[in-house]
């Protein structure tokens, strides 16, 4: 293949017109299938092309039309959401006097994951379903979910976080077994009621319960076992 030339679109227009005049009749018709001139004098480029170069900002794409050795400057159309890579076969259309656009990717050079690339993306639908056979990985700097009802059904559910906060007017937990492991546990409530239908058992190395005003223990049978029993600061009143 001859050396590929990088052309401005208007330079390509001049070169194309000259090559069309000098080319044999069959070749001239083949070229004109790619570039056609309307009666209004506007030169239109339309056809398949190969992406040869991409600028550092992914805004300008240099493409080579099939059976051509000239690189044309093109831009990504808003309707083309997929990420464009070097070597992709694309569909181009445009005016040599203004801009040429890449409308779609026809074939990927490599079997890479499909990447949708756009500055903003909004999906509106009456209802939607996302069905995946494999894993779903969501990565975002910040994620917000707004819904009148949010349900998660999972066989295993795990949350890993540096800090975790739950704010709710009413919170309800139902589980056959609850296990909490913590270095320090701190809980503040205004009024607390705990109902245990079986045995409420507390095992502690040291235990300290204090009440500001009144402490009461009520039971049909009350038993206190201790190696030593110490009573301080008050009166001992016994009735029975």
SS3 sequence, the chain?
A: CCCCEECCHHHHHHHHHHHHHHCCHHHHHHHHHHEEECCCCCEEEEEEEEEEEECCCCCEEEEEECCCCEEEEEEECCCCCECCCCCCEEEEEEECCCCEEEEEEEECCCCCCCCECCCCCCCCCCCCCCCCCCCCCCCCCCCCCCCCCCCCCCCCCCCCCCCCCCCCCCCCCCCCCCCCCCCCCCCCCCCCCCCCCCCCCCCCCCCCCCCCCCCCCCCCCCCCCCCCCCCCCCCCCCCC
Cα 146 from Cα 149, distance rounded (Å): 9
In a domain, 167, yes or no: no
In a domain, 202, yes or no: no
Q: Residue 40's pLDDT band (boundaries 50, 70, 90)?
A: very low
User: Would you state the pLDDT for residue 17?
Assistant: 58
Cα 109 from Cα 232, distance rounded (Å): 87
In a domain, 193, yes or no: no
In a domain, 55, yes or no: yes
**Residue pLDDT, tens place only, 191-217:** 889 898 899 888 889 888 888 888 888
User: Would you state the pLDDT for residue 236?
Assistant: 73
**Residue pLDDT, tens place only, 49-88:** 999 999 988 889 999 988 777 788 999 998 888 889 999 9
Average the pLDDT over 171-191 and give the result: 88
Which residues face 41 on adjacent strands?
Answer: none
Looking up residue 94, the CATH number of its domain turns out to be 2.40.50.140
Query: In the predicted model, is pLDDT for residue 18 greater than 70?
Result: no
Find the farthest-apart pair of alpha carbons in the chain and give their distance in angstroms, rounded.
125
Contact by Cβ (8 Å): 86, 71 = no
In a domain, 59, yes or no: yes
Q: Residue 19's pLDDT band (boundaries 50, 70, 90)?
A: low
In a domain, 119, yes or no: no
The mean pLDDT value of the chain amounts to 81
Which of 61, 45, 159, 56 shows the shortest CA–CA distance to 97? 45
Query: In the predicted model, is pLDDT for residue 21 greater than 70?
Result: no
Residue 149 vs residues 146, 159, 200: alpha-carbon distances, Å:
9, 20, 36
User: Would you state the pLDDT for residue 32?
Assistant: 47
In a domain, 208, yes or no: no
Cα 98 from Cα 236, distance rounded (Å): 101
Which of 97, 81, 83 shows the shortest CA–CA distance to 17? 97
Give the residue with greater pLDDT, 104 vs 121.
104
Average the pLDDT over 154-164 and give the result: 88
In a domain, 90, yes or no: yes
For the chain, what is the domain count?
A: 1
Query: In the predicted model, is pLDDT for residue 12 greater than 80?
Result: no
Which residues face 219 on adjacent strands?
Answer: none
Domain that holds residue 17: 5-107
User: Would you state the pLDDT for residue 240?
Assistant: 63
């Amino acid at each position: 293949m001859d050396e590929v030339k990088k052309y401005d679109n208007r330079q390509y227009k001049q070169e194309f017109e000259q090559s069309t005049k000098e080319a044999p009749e069959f070749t001239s018709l083949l070229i004109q299938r790619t570039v056609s001139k309307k009666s209004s004098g506007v030169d239109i480029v339309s056809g398949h092309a190969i992406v040869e170069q991409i600028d550092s900002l992914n805004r300008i794409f240099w493409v080579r039309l099939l059976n051509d050795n000239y690189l044309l400057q093109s831009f990504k159309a808003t309707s083309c959401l997929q990420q464009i890579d070097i070597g992709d076969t694309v569909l181009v259309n445009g005016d040599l006097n203004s801009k040429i656009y890449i409308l779609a990717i026809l074939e990927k050079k490599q079997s890479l994951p499909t990447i949708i690339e756009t500055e903003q993306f909004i999906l509106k639908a009456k209802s939607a379903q996302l069905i995946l056979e494999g894993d779903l990985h969501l990565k975002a700097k910040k994620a917000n979910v707004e819904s009148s009802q949010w349900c998660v059904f999972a066989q295993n559910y795990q949350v890993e976080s540096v800090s975790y906060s739950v704010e709710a007017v009413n919170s309800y937990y139902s589980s056959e077994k609850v296990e909490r492991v913590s270095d320090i546990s701190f809980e503040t409530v205004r009024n607390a009621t705990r109902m245990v239908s079986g045995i409420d058992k507390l095992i502690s190395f040291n235990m300290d319960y204090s009440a500001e005003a009144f402490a009461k223990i009520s039971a049909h049978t009350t038993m206190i076992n201790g190696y030593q029993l110490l009573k301080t600061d008050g009166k001992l009143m016994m009735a029975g």
